[in-house]
């Protein structure tokens, strides 16, 4: 067995690491059951219809208005939807499992009690498909252009995928570009698979690799800096 302490769990939404505020994270999926029972059937029959993912994040509300904090993220999320949400139940260590969704917020509520903290709850649904992937690079501070470590994902696949970037800290000047490359053997013939938009501050992005695209066995993250920025980023990829 491989039970995990929930203290390892991490959740990133947009450009914010919610893990330091969250007290509970729930993630679930549902599928429509379409009734195809006919007159000759003696038992109900169904086929699977559309699927949907939903999430809830309960937090201790921090009203510090510092840019990139919980309050600014929560109040601007409604204008930037959908945003990438990455839920890593075992943590963001490279190679850990992670759920990737394009998150829409459907409800936001806050609660106050006389003998407790001010708390809040964000809940929403996925815009489109949900994907199960792996962390390619943990939340890592970057200050120089360079190639990341080759990550062996066991086998190549042939139906594209989806990538998430969460850039949760940024200082310095000019910009950075984060890309994901893939390789057959992890040593040669690296080719660009995903290019995220140039970043000049806190940001996040979801990139879908088209269906039918071959994704080679090995992945790595490449950081290309212009000027002298220092930033912290997490990168994940899910094969389809």
Residue 120 shares a structural domain with residue 173: no
Q: Which residues pair with 22 in a beta bridge?
A: 59
Instruction: Write the pLDDT tens digit of every residue in 15-59.
Output: 999 999 999 999 999 999 999 999 999 999 999 999 999 999 999
Q: Is 30 in contact with 52 (CB distance < 8 Å)?
A: yes
Token output for 211: 């269906």
Q: How many domains does the chain have?
A: 2
DSSP character for 197? P
Domain that holds residue 168: 134-239
Is residue 82 reached through a cis peptide bond, with omega within 30 degrees of 0 on the bond before it? yes
Residue ending a domain, choose from 90, 108, 126: 126
Q: Is 205 in contact with 171 (CB distance < 8 Å)?
A: no
Instruction: Write the pLDDT tens digit of every residue in 207-237.
Output: 999 999 999 999 999 999 999 999 999 999 9
For residue 191, give Cα distances in angstroms to 165, 180, 210: 19, 9, 16
Residue 101 shares a structural domain with residue 201: no
Instruction: Tell me the average pLDDT across 153-173.
Output: 97
Whether the model clears a pTM of 0.85, i.e. scores above it, the answer is: yes
Residue 112 shares a structural domain with residue 159: no
CATH number at residue 196: 2.60.120.1110
CA distance 13 to 177: 20
Residue ending a domain, choose from 126, 159, 178: 126
Question: Is residue 42 domain-resident?
Answer: no
CB burial readout 67-86, b (16+ within 10 A) else e: eeebebbbeebeeeebbbbb
Residue 79 shares a structural domain with residue 155: no
CATH number at residue 122: 2.40.30
Give the pLDDT band of residue 99 (cuts 50, 70, 90).
very high
Task: Give the percent of the chain with pLDDT over 90.
Answer: 84
């Amino acid at each position: 067995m491989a039970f995990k302490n929930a203290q390892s769990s991490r959740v990133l939404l947009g450009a914010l690491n919610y893990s330091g505020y969250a007290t509970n994270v729930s993630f679930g999926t549902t599928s429509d059951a379409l009734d195809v029972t006919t007159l000759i059937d003696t038992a109900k029959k169904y086929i699977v219809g559309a699927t949907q993912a939903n999430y809830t994040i309960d937090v201790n509300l921090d009203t510090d208005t510092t840019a990139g904090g919980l309050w600014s993220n929560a109040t601007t999320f409604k204008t930037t939807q959908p945003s990438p949400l990455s839920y890593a139940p075992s943590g963001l260590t490279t190679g850990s499992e992670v759920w990737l969704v394009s998150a829409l917020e459907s409800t936001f509520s806050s609660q106050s009690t006389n003998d407790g903290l001010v708390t809040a709850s964000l809940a929403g649904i996925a815009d489109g498909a949900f994907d199960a992937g792996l962390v390619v690079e943990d939340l890592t501070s970057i200050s120089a252009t360079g190639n990341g470590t080759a990550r062996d994902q066991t086998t190549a696949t042939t139906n594209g995928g989806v990538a998430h970037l969460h850039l949760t800290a940024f200082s310095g000047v000019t910009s950075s570009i984060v890309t994901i490359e893939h390789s057959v053997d992890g040593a040669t013939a690296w080719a660009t698979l995903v290019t995220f938009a140039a970043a000049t501050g806190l940001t996040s992005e979801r990139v879908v690799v088209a269906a039918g695209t071959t994704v080679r066995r090995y992945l790595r993250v490449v950081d290309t800096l212009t000027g002298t920025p220092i930033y912290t980023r997490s990168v994940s990829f899910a094969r389809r």
